[in-house]
Chains A and B, each alone.
Chain A
Amino acid sequence: MAEKQSKWKIFTAGIIRENPVLRLVLGCCSALAVTTTLSGAVGMGLAMTFVLVGSNIFISALRKVIPAKVHLPCYIVIIASFVTVVQMVMQAYLADLYKTLGVFIALIVVNCIILGRAEMFACKNTVVDSALDGLGMGCGYILTMSLMGGIRELIGGGSLLGVTIIPESIDRMTIMNSAPGGFFVFGCLMAGCIWLERKLNKPIERKTCGDVMLEELDAAKAEAVEGGAAK
């Protein structure tokens, strides 16, 4: 029974506790770009979940075979193969959606959620756990994306999934559908999330992949300076 509970915990972790977009702050690019409509957001979420589950399964199955030195190229090839599968399927059956999402489907390859989960989870855990983790993260991603897409489509276009909800007589705030609206809605959602955490007395430290980048950079710079001094 204890074992079952822990599996359930792995699955639910991605939905709220470790929500990839709002709590771990991974994959911001796609979260901002494709959430102009609800349907686009859900489509992207489903594509992402498929790649996430598939690559997590493969990477964890091969975790004892992949040499540590070349793990990154191996992960990228596995992920890129799954992305290509998604691209081909979408081109065949969902051509309109593929056109709306455009380059962002191909860019799933370099999305930090997938590489992040590969490095943080799949390379250390069993196949079943990794698949559950991928599924949970995917669900968390779909939920957040739908929330953002819903807000932006409702305020920006007055409709949801193409069905008009706010009467035509009220002017649309089309700014929500363009780039600034994306940043703004994401910022406000994040603030709401932090407000909730503070209410529940469980604040967390948010570290974007950019912050990690800056840290790595400082470390590399210090090393370069030291190397120069040693010479």
Chain B
Amino acid sequence: MSHFATFAIIFFNMILVNNYVLVQFLGICPFLGVSKKMDSSIGMGVAVIFVMLMATAVTFPIQIFLLDANDMGYMQTIVFILVIAVLVQLVEITLKKYVPALYSSLGVYLPLITTNCCVLGVTILATQDYTPVIAESGFGLAYAEALVCSVGAGVGFMVAMLLFCGVRSRVEAADPPESFKGLPLTLVAAAIVSLSFMGFGGLVENIVGALG
């Protein structure tokens, strides 16, 4: 299979089959809160894609060349969360100083993302899943696959946010039993959206397999 097909499988798998929010339960907090407003959902989604890509781009080499090489894999959690926090802060400062226009639209989302479990989750899962690939096909390809995976995860997060934002505007107009008003109804609606994503299981491999 060509590299392109592998990348396509990873990318669409992360969006449809292993969607971070709806299937793997990462990043539920922003999903339940920020999806109330469409413009905030888009901004948050873009910021998450950006931070996920950057965080994976930095943490993957750190894990391979610094931690694993020195037999310190157990330091992963501490090192990763600190790297992400510093990285997000740096980006925020840089944007504020040099690209104020972008800062006012994207920068406000950044401080909220540091302690978001989907970002730490993607860095840990990507290093865990693609470290074995190094032995098979070298560091370059493994690194590229990890990056594709992180972008796919971010896009999947954004897709889930946008879809749910639409569902929510309809749900809020409904008239449920008194006890279900508010959060419980939102959760049940999320269950149904998540149910529809279950239908994508196995889809990506079959389509790309048929094409390639």
B118 to chain A: closest residue by CB: A29
Query: How far apart sit A195 and B1, CA to CA, in the bound complex (Å)?
Result: 55
Contact B40 A191 (CB under 8 A): no
Kindly list chain B residues whose C-beta atoms are within 8 Å of the C-beta of A162: none
Cross-chain contact B179 with A194 (CB below 8 angstroms): yes
Q: Is the CB of B77 within 8 A of A29?
A: no
Please give, as numbers and ranges, the residues of chain A lying within 8 Å of B81 by CB-CB distance: 76, 80, 109-110
Complex formed: what's the CA distance from A202 to B171 in Å? Answer: 26
A110–B124 Cα gap in the complex (Å)? 13
In the complex, A17 Cα to B106 Cα: how many Å? 38
B66 part of interface (Cβ distance < 8 Å): no
Please state if A209 and B191 are interface contacts (CB–CB under 8 Å). Answer: no
Judge whether A179 and B23 touch: CB under 8 Å: yes
Interface residue B134 (Cβ < 8 Å from any Cβ of A): no
| A-side interface residues, number (CB < 8 Å) | 57
Stretch at the interface among B54-62, B109-117, B143-151: B109-117
Complex contact B188–A83 (CB within 8 A): no
Closest Cβ of chain A to B114, distance in Å, is 8
A200 at the interface (CB under 8 A from B): no
Q: Is A182 an interface residue (CB 8 A)?
A: yes
Asked if A210 and B184 make an inter-chain contact with CB atoms under 8 angstroms apart, the answer reads: no
What is the predominant secondary structure among interface residues of chain B facing chain A? helix
B179 is contacted by which of A107, A111, A192 (Cβ under 8 Å)?
A192
Check B180–A191 contact: CB distance below 8 A: yes
A87 adjacent to B77 (CB under 8 Å): yes
Majority SS of interface residues in chain A? helix
**B26 beta carbon closer than 8 Å to chain A:** yes
Determine if A180 and B191 form an interchain contact, defined as CB atoms under 8 angstroms apart: yes
Residues of B172-187 whose CB lies within 8 A of A: 177-187
Question: Closest approach, in angstroms, between the C-beta of B186 and any C-beta of chain A?
Answer: 8
Closest to A231 in B: B100
* CB within 8 Å for A213 and B29 given contacts A84-B75, A187-B191: yes
Contact A214 B34 (CB under 8 A): yes
A96 at the interface (CB under 8 A from B): no
Decide yes or no whether B165 CB sits under 8 A from chain A: no
Set of chain B residues within 8 Å of A111, measured between Cβ atoms = 117
Q: Is B32 in contact with chain A by the CB < 8 A criterion?
A: yes
Question: Whose C-beta in chain A lies nearest to the C-beta of B33?
Answer: A210
Assess A180 versus B194: contact at CB under 8 Å? Given A76-B82, A84-B78, A224-B103.
yes
Interface residues of A in 175-219 (CB under 8 A from B): 175, 178-184, 186-188, 190-192, 194-195, 198, 206, 208-214, 216-217
Point out the residue from B23, B29, B108, B125 that lies within 8 Å of A210, measured CB to CB: B29
Determine whether A62 belongs to the interface, using a CB cutoff of 8 Å to chain B.
Answer: no
Asked whether A33 is an interface residue with its Cβ less than 8 Å from the other chain, the reply is: yes
- Docked-complex contact A33 and B25, CB < 8 angstroms: yes
Q: Mark B35-51, 1 if CB is under 8 A from A, else 0.
A: 11100100000000000
Complex alpha-carbon distance, A107 and B80, angstroms: 11
With the chains together, A147 CA to B181 CA distance in Å? 22
Q: Which residues of B contact A109 (CB under 8 A)?
A: 77, 81, 120
Render B122-162 as a binary contact track against A, CB cut-off 8 A, 1 for contact: 00110010000000000000000000000000000000000
Whether A106 contacts B124 by the Cβ 8 Å rule is yes
Let me know if A194 and B184 touch, CB within 8 A: yes
Chain A residues, Cβ within 8 Å of B26:
29, 33, 107
Docked complex Cα distance between A213 and B187 (Å): 18
Asked whether A212 lies within 8 Å of B191 as measured between CB atoms, the reply is no
A-B residue pairs, 10 tightest by C-beta: A210-B33, A187-B187, A183-B191, A191-B184, A33-B25, A195-B179, A220-B108, A224-B104, A184-B191, A180-B195
Which B residues contact A (CB, under 8 angstroms)?
Answer: 22-37, 40, 74-78, 81-82, 85, 100, 103-104, 107-109, 111-112, 115-117, 120-121, 124-125, 128, 177-188, 190-192, 194-195, 197-198
